């Protein structure tokens, strides 16, 4: 699923493809914003972690899970 993260004072948003569910991402964001965690930590599909200070978050956009199409019919 695609997750877009807006960071204060940064000209571009951070966009990652995450294997985490929408509920897991929401819980991580809620924990960061409530003060339970000082950092928002998300993991992409390749196991790389993105760590952002919670006080710098501007917005989070959680997309729908992406289905991967394989083969010649992928362009349909």
CATH label, 2-67, candidates 3.30.1120, 1.20.120, 2.30.30, 2.40.160: 2.30.30
Sequence spans of domains, the chain: 2-67
pLDDT tens digit at each of 76 positions of the chain: 899 999 999 999 999 999 899 999 999 999 999 988 899 999 999 999 999 999 999 999 998 766 666 767 655 5
Cβ neighbours of residue 21 closer than 8 Å, sequence gap 6 or more: 1
Put simply, whether the predicted model's pTM sits higher than 0.85 gets the answer no
Tokens read off for 45: 């599909």
């Amino acid at each position: 699923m695609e997750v877009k993260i807006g960071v204060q004072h940064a000209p571009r948003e951070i966009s990652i493809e995450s294997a985490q569910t929408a509920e897991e991402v929401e819980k991580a964001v809620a924990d960061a914003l409530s003060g339970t965690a000082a950092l928002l930590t998300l993991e992409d599909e390749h196991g790389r972690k993105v760590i952002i200070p919670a006080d710098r978050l501007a917005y989070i956009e959680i997309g729908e899970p992406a289905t991967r199409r394989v083969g010649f019919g992928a362009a349909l």
